[in-house]
């Protein structure tokens, strides 16, 4: 069975500092990986997906199949980045398996 691990429940970073949110997965096939974000009082929304290889709001994530990781990175944190971040894996059957989430707080 697939599994997604986000080792950090809480992460605090100073404004302007680099951010890295860790995500590791276990899955025997070729996964579709996503990062979802939930800002305060807003619904869960897609931040980015590995298949599109795009940068959203300055965030990027690279799929490393060797290390089974999909870490989320941003070179310079902004205060509006404070939110709950979830890494998720789709096994091809429209079933998203989520990590437990990391609450990112940007310190002004």
Partner 1 sequence: KAGVTQTPRYLIKTRGQQVTLSCSPISGHRSVSWYQQTPGQGLQFLFEYFSETQRNKGNFPGRFSGRQFSNSRSEMNVSTLELGDSALYLCASSLGQAQYEQYFGPGTRLTVT
Residues that bind partner 1 (CB under 8 A): 32, 34, 36, 43-46, 49, 51, 86, 90-101
Residue 50 Cβ, how far from partner 1 at the closest point, in Å? 10
Measured from the CB atom, is 51 or 107 closer to partner 1? 51
Query: Which whole-number Å values give the CA distances from 62 to 11, 16, 93, 103, 107, in the listed order?
Result: 20, 21, 22, 20, 26
Residue 66 Cβ, how far from partner 1 at the closest point, in Å? 22
Measured from the CB atom, is 15 or 57 closer to partner 1? 57
* Contact predicate 25/67, CB 8 Å: no
* Contact predicate 104/13, CB 8 Å: yes
Residue 21 Cβ, how far from partner 1 at the closest point, in Å? 15
Measured from the CB atom, is 37 or 77 closer to partner 1? 37
Residue for token digits 């091809």? 92
Strands 32-38 and 45-49: antiparallel
* Contact predicate 97/3, CB 8 Å: yes
Measured from the CB atom, is 2 or 69 closer to partner 1? 2
Residue 35 Cβ, how far from partner 1 at the closest point, in Å? 11
């Amino acid at each position: 069975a697939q599994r997604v691990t986000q080792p950090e429940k809480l992460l605090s970073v100073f404004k302007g500092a680099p951010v890295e949110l860790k995500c590791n997965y276990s899955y025997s096939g070729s996964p579709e990986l996503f990062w979802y974000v939930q800002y305060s009082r807003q619904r869960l929304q897609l931040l980015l997906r590995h298949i599109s290889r795009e940068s959203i709001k300055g965030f990027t994530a690279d799929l490393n199949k060797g290390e089974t990781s999909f870490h989320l990175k941003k070179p310079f944190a902004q205060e509006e980045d404070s939110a709950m971040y979830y890494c998720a894996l789709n096994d091809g059957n429209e079933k998203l398996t989520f990590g437990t989430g990391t609450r990112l707080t940007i310190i002004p």
